[in-house]
Each structure stands twice: as C-alpha cells, then as structure tokens.
Structure 1
Amino acid sequence: MSLDFEQKGESIKWFIIVVPLIIGLLLLCFLLDLMLGSVNIPPDALLTIVTGGSVKATWMNIFWDWRMPKAITAVFAGGALALSGLLMQTFFRNPLADPYILGISSGASLGVALVMMSAGFCGVGAIFASVGLLGDMSISVAATLGAFVVLLLILLISSKIQSNITILILGIMVSYFSGAIVTILLQFADQSSMHSYSLWTFGSFSGVTWSQIPIFVLIVLIGYIISICSVKSLNALLLGEQYAQSMGMNYTRIKTVIIVTTALLAGGVTAFCGPVGFLGIAIPHLCRAIFVTADHRCLVPGCILVGGIIALCTDIISHVPGTDIVLPINAITALFGAPVVIWVIVRGTRFGRGVTT
C-alpha cells in the first residue's frame, strides 16, 4: 500500500487545528461533571472551592470526596479504554475489535466473582478476609489478579502461535470459560453477593477513592507512554505483518507489547471501574472520523482526549442532574456506542488511509 504523503501533511495540519478545541471541550466537560449531579454546585461556588475559599460544607464534601475523584477517574478510564480499543483494532486489523476481545475483562470478572460469591462455595472469600484483602482495594486486587492470569495465558500461547486469528479465538474461549465459572458461582452465592456482583458489572467511575487514584492513574499513564512510543510500529501493522517485518521490526516483540499494553489499560479500568463497555470499540472510529486519518500519531493522543470527553459526558448523563437517579454507566455507553458500531458496519472502515511509518 503506497503512502499518501500529501494526505499525511493535511491530516497533521487538521490535527493541530482540532486538538486545542478538543482540549477546551475536555476541560468544559470536566467542569460540568464537577458541577452537575443530584446537588448542583454553581460555577462561582466551584471557583471558590478550587481557590480555597469557604462555601457550604455540603458542597465542599461533595466536591472533594465524591465528584473530583469521579471526574479524574472518568478522564483516565475513557482515554484508557479508547486507546486499548485502538490497539486491538490495529493488531487484529478488525474494525469491530474491542479492549476485552482477549478475555482480559473476563479474567478480571472471574477474580471479582471468586471474592464476592465464593465464600459459600469453597471459602475463598473467607481466606481473602483473613489476610485483610477485603478492604478498600479488595475488588481491585481480585480483578487485577484475574486479568493477570489471563494475560500470562495469552502471552504463553501467543509466543508459540503466529496467527492473530488463533489468538482472537483463544481470547473468546477464555471469555466463555470464565463466564461459565461465574455462572456456576452464581448458583451457590447468596442474594447479597449476587446483587453486589451485578452492580459491579454495570460499571461505575464513582467507586475509586483518593487512595486508589494514584495507582490507577500510574497504570494508565504507563499504558499511554508505551502506546505513544509504539506509534511507528502501529502504523506499520496497519499495512500488514509482512510489511512490518520488511521494515526491520520484530513482530513477536510488537505483538507482546500490544497485548501487555492492552492488558494494562483495559485490565486497569476493569479492576477499578468494572467492565465499562462500548467506549473502546466506538471511540477509535469517532477519532478516525474527526481527524480524517488512520495515522496513529494523530489517533493515539486523539483517543486519549476524545475518550476522556465521552466518558465525562456519559458520567454526567448517568447521574441525572437535579435528581437522585443514578443510571448504570454501561447503559449510557451502549446508547452512545451501539449507533457508532452500526454506522461502522453500514459504512465500512478503510484501515490504513493516510498512514505513514
């Protein structure tokens, strides 16, 4: 596939023009997420809080204890899911690939299910409690361990297999296997455990505390840095495995880096926020439409920014402003993501347009 250098230059120029607008929109959505909710905080009160002034104690508590960590979580979770979705769509050269296609989320879900629902089945929950893991970080630790086990399995098998299709099928089978175990655990769980697990599967940006945010942000930032450093390899992969190898790239190393980075991003979000769906599959396509390119030098930072915007918007909508109603975040992301996926299927997606290595 020939490289369109003229289109490459136009894409970069357009990216430079659009990015300041996107950053401004991101800041606006961040402020709106801080202001809107069951209790609306006026803009002047918000400014007073940020500058260290004195306002109602209720507003202070809501702002610092609830909305600020929630907004920070939404920004990083949205960017992480969008970027991991981009990595998977590039790796498999499939426009319908999402961050959870390797079974990472299923492994995390299984880890959470084992902690939440296994006390009445095999005593695992009691074991975790006895070592103090059922505190502030219990669910995140369980999800991380589950995702890590699946990651090791994928890496072990992918080191012996060259076919991406085989890796894709492996991820699907891991998802089915994990889902089967979760279904069995549900049959032995009590009502309270089943309810807690169901709430976790809805996804939420509200459960991350200040003590957890540094760990979550660090995990996501590592994924960001690796992705940015891998832009040249990602562009080469769009033109095919053989082309990437002809450029002198070690395909096995590239494959391992992409799988590990996706696990960091998608697994980290699942561990702290639950399995938030649709953002990873829809936002990369939205970015391709906005920036009119498939060049990862534009798409990687674009997905980080646009992902944060969409996540903030879905969070604002889910906490229906002015009411006490809180909708499941996955319901809102599905309302956004499903039309995008339908549009992709109907319109078709041309990978590799405007790509350069």
Structure 2
Amino acid sequence: MRPLLGTLLVVLIGLAAAVAIGFYPGFSTTSDVADDEQEGFDQALVIKFSHVVAENTPKGLAAQRFARLMSEKTDRRVKVEVFPNAVLYNETDEMDALMRGNVQMIAPSFANLSEHVPAWLTFDLPYAFLSDEAVQEAFDGELGKLLFDKLASKNLVGLSYWGNGFKQMTSNRGPLIHPSDFKEQHFRILPSKVIEAQFRQFDAKTTPIPFNEVYRGLESGVVDGEENTISNIRTKKFYQVQKYMTISNHGYLGYTVLMNKSFWDKLPGDVKKPLVEALEETAHWANENAIEMNRRQLEELRHQGGLEIHVQTPEERREWMQRWEPIYQEFEATIGKDVMSRIRRLREKYGS
C-alpha cells in the first residue's frame, strides 16, 4: 500500500503545481498571451482586455458582453479576460502596454488616442456631432474607416466604435449658461489639445486628470468642474461633489476598440471571423444601450436632487458654437483636411 500511496501523493502534488503555474489544460495565467507557445492554440486562447472605467458603465457592460459572445462563438476556445477600473493600466499607460503586447485589447477614449494619432482629435471638436444619428453615421461611414486607416503606423488595428454619449458641463462654482460663466474656473479635461482650446476660448483654466482620479480632484477643490457623460457622472458619483450641471451635448465621448496588430496578424481565420462578428453585435447593442443609460440616469439625477440642472436653450447653443467656431480653423492642419471635410459635411447634414 505504501508505494501506491506514495505514487498518488506525487501525482496530486504535480497536479496542484501545474494548476498553480497555469499549465492545466484550458487555463492560462501567463501575461505573455501573444508568445509563440500560443501560436498553435491547442489550449484556450486568452485575450486580455484592459479598460479604465467601472463595470456598470456603457464601456464596462460592452466589454463583458463581448467576452461572453466570444466564448459562445468559439465554443470556449477563446477566453477574453476583462480587467476594468484600471486594475492593469490607467489612461496614461494603456496605449503603451498595448503597443508592447502586454495586453491585446483596450478601448481608449478618442481623446486619449489623439495623443498618438492627431487625426483623432476630430471627435473632440465642439458640436461636431449634432445628434445620435450623426455619431452613428461617423462610426459606420467614411469618417470611421478613414480614422481606422490612420492607425496602421502605430502597430494598431481599429476594430469597433463604442459610444458612451454626449458630454455635459458640471461645476461647483455656479451655473454654466453663458461663455462668461466659465471665466477663471478650473476644469478637469482629457489630454486633448482641442478640449484645452475649447475651454481656453471660454477663458477657463484646465488640467488633465486621469479618469479614476477625477472624483478626488473635484472633492478636494483641485478643479472646479469637468465635462462628462451622464452615465459617467452618475456611476462615478461626480454629482456628490458638483453643484451645477448644464445639459449642453457639446461634445461626444466614445471609445475605439483596438488590438495589437502583431497579435491580430497571428490570429487564424476561425478566430478572426467570430471576433469581428462578436464586436459588430456588441457595438450595435452598446451604442443603443448608451443612449438609453444616459436618458435613464439623467432622470435619476433629477429625482434624487442635490444637483442644479440647466438644459441649454437653442439661443445658448448658438452662443457657445459661435465662440468655438475658430477652433475648427485652428486645428484643420493638425487633424487633416480629408478628415475635417467629412466633419463639415456631417454638421451641415444634421445641423438643419
């Protein structure tokens, strides 16, 4: 009996060690998922998807949905591991992590992507998109394809557009109704030259702050206000540290689902095909869900009280647009005439 017990003990110890270091079939804890050891995909292929927002936001929910669809469409041969809330990388380093291959997918905001590819500043132009229909046409049409084409030089592949919603203005110092109301106030912004210019035109100061540090910045008074979607204001509880909000819909916040190109090129067709299908289905759902979430959560903010909400009038919108019009000329060379001409056509089409 002793030899048999000894043999069983050795086997059990070996299995425990295998699980602990990630060699158990179908299980992987390695960070180098793009390494040669996975080229054969004889075990479950792991795709690490890192993002910086909460799980209950439009992007967080979309990432979870995409992961489920990939598992279903590949009979669990592909496992998408989603890491929310900047647990792996924050806004300032997720792009570099993707380029190095430390993760395989991210979904940065358009503004964060513009630091690497200036043409993406187009999404930060104030009042570039005047309706949800204009946004969807940009995603699905010539503009979306043109911007994806500009990613190739950075070893990136653009796979999908996910919406979050239109941005609103918030502040602690007073209502934001006219451009003069912004004077000398200090706003948190995403790292975007266009957004910086937007506030500069209103004589306001700006400081870029990573998303997961915004609440602390507002609470401590480092900044007076910020611009964001209703869903972000609600889920991150910015309403607890802000007194005033203007429903201005002056800008659009969305995300680009990106993959490391070297990793993408190694994927076989029977993985690429369901991946593209899963992203298409997710994008359709996500963009509709973002509209509904923002509508519902605005009502929740109204009912709970504590935040003074002003809805911008058509006259006030024209006043803001007029002050911001010089920004288009200022950034045309940086963004590119090919991109800017398409933005102008969208504004004309949906501005009537």
TM-score range, shorter chain: under 0.3
Structure number with higher helix proportion: 1
Task: Select the structure with the greater relative contact order (CA < 8 A; seq sep ≥ 6).
Answer: 1
Structure number with higher strand proportion: 2
Normalised by the length of structure 1, the TM-score is 0.26
